[in-house]
Amino acid sequence: MKVAYLDYNATAPLRPEARAAMLEAAAVGGNASSVHGSGRRARMAIETARETIASLLGARAAEIVFTSGGTEANQLALRGAGAERILVSAIEHDSVRLACPAAEMLAVDGRGLIDLDRLDATLGNGRGRALVSVMLANNETGVIQPVAEVARIARRHGARLHCDAVQAAGKIAVDFGALDVDFLSLSGHKFGGPQGAGALLVRQGAMLEPQFRGGGQELGRRSGTENLPGIAGMAAALQAAMRDMAAIAGLARLRDGIEERLAAICPGLRIWGAGAPRLANTSCLAMPGMGSETQVMALDLAGVEISAGAACSSGKVRPSHVLRAMGASEAEAREAVRVSLGWASVAEDAERFVAAWTALYLRTGGRAARVAAA
């Protein structure tokens, strides 16, 4: 059975450009810290990838620290910034929310947007060197935060700012300089690069305490032999994603078509984050009365791969903390599924999703609801 893969926010399929770059890098074979020819070639490949990523994101090459992915980049920023106070938005990914247990939570409104007045007041009320962490785009709803405004408020209070741009990079333009943040996290596998490769962008001059010590790689900011194929694949994927940006923005047509058709057959359909600026590829949909796990399994049987809002590594679904922060009841937070499209998505994938979701809806509560309403 041909599968419709609609889970790009979990991992995007590897782009052919990334695969080619990884194979080429793997053939180099040396350690970038070695002084011989193979080592120099490895170093050259890493520095070329660094330059590429920096130029695509409005950063300087020296501001990029390669990591093992988004989780490590987030932890490095939150734990390494030397902050006495950490404030994180309530909708952050767990790799931010759980990085520092004492972090203060910043509220969002029903649309999933950070409450800027509350941020201003909270920063004004506390003491100590503060670090604020607000993501650029949410992994469950796709809601895009006003990070440049958050930066203005943070600056006014002398706080530093970390931005998890793991879901935004490769889907919308990300300009490190223009956002005016101190730290920004990336993860290769979210935009068609390999898993296990990421980066933390660190503003020149920003203090960063390394979390891994050893060989002193990455200018002492992150020790460990660099993942050359991963880094090269990530740079090639980002380049391809930026080149395809118009096509990624065009996914909104497919996404909106899905939402319109589902809303037409299911009057109680809830689309979380629809009232806010969103990534073009993401839809967070709740079928009333139907657990997200059941929806994900039923669609999987029909050859359509999507996610429940927040699954942990065991695959067990917890009520989404993102939707709870947006005002969902516990039951509502268990009913949402995430559909996320990407670079290889086609109209047929959307059709398959709509058909499978509709069949499930009519097979279960939906039919009863429609008959009762008639």
Give the residue with the Cβ less far from ligand PLP, 138 or 345: 138
Q: Shortest Cβ distance from residue 157 to ligand PLP (Å)?
A: 25
Q: Which amino acid belongs to residue 195?
A: Q
Give the residue with the Cβ less far from ligand PLP, 139 or 283: 139
| Segment interacting with ligand PLP (CB under 6 A) among 117-125, 159-167, 221-229, 237-245 | 159-167
Give the residue with the Cβ less far from ligand PLP, 28 or 161: 161
The answer to whether 166 contacts ligand PLP (rule: CB under 6 A) is yes
| Candidate list 100, 163, 284, 312, residue with the active-site label | 312
6 φ, ψ (degrees, to nearest 5):
-125, 50
The answer to whether 233 contacts ligand PLP (rule: CB under 6 A) is no
Q: Which amino acid belongs to residue 244?
A: D
Give the residue with the Cβ less far from ligand PLP, 193 or 319: 193
Which residue, chain included where needed, has tokens 């506390």? 126
- Encoding tokens for residue 292? 């997200």
| Segment interacting with ligand PLP (CB under 6 A) among 79-87, 162-170, 211-219, 349-357 | 162-170
289 φ, ψ (degrees, to nearest 5):
80, 5
CA atoms within 13 A on the CB side of 85: 19
Among 164, 218, 332, 349, binds ligand PLP (CB under 6 A): 164
Question: Alpha-carbon distance 85 to 101, whole Å?
Answer: 11
Active site residue 312: yes
* Residue 358: how many other CB atoms lie within 10 Å: 16
Q: Shortest Cβ distance from residue 22 to ligand PLP (Å)?
A: 16
Among 75, 122, 133, 139, binds ligand PLP (CB under 6 A): 139
Give the residue with the Cβ less far from ligand PLP, 192 or 198: 198
Helices 347-363 and 292-301: crossing angle in degrees, nearest 10, is: 120
Q: Shortest Cβ distance from residue 16 to ligand PLP (Å)?
A: 21
The answer to whether 145 contacts ligand PLP (rule: CB under 6 A) is no
Question: Alpha-carbon distance 183 to 185, whole Å?
Answer: 7
* Residue 98: how many other CB atoms lie within 10 Å: 15
The answer to whether 167 contacts ligand PLP (rule: CB under 6 A) is yes
| Segment interacting with ligand PLP (CB under 6 A) among 44-52, 69-77, 265-273, 283-291 | 69-77
Among 7, 56, 70, 228, binds ligand PLP (CB under 6 A): 70
The answer to whether 132 contacts ligand PLP (rule: CB under 6 A) is no
Widest Cα–Cα separation across the chain? 78
Q: Shortest Cβ distance from residue 25 to ligand PLP (Å)?
A: 19
Helices 347-363 and 251-265: crossing angle in degrees, nearest 10, is: 20
* Residue 234: how many other CB atoms lie within 10 Å: 32
Number of residues near ligand PLP (by CB under 6 A): 13
The answer to whether 306 contacts ligand PLP (rule: CB under 6 A) is no
Helices (H), the chain: 16-28, 37-56, 70-80, 94-97, 116-125, 147-156, 176-179, 228-243, 245-249, 251-265, 292-301, 321-325, 330-333, 347-363, 365-373
Binding stretches for ligand PLP (CB under 6 A):
69-71, 74, 93, 95, 135, 139, 164, 166-167, 187, 198
- Catalytic residue numbers read 312
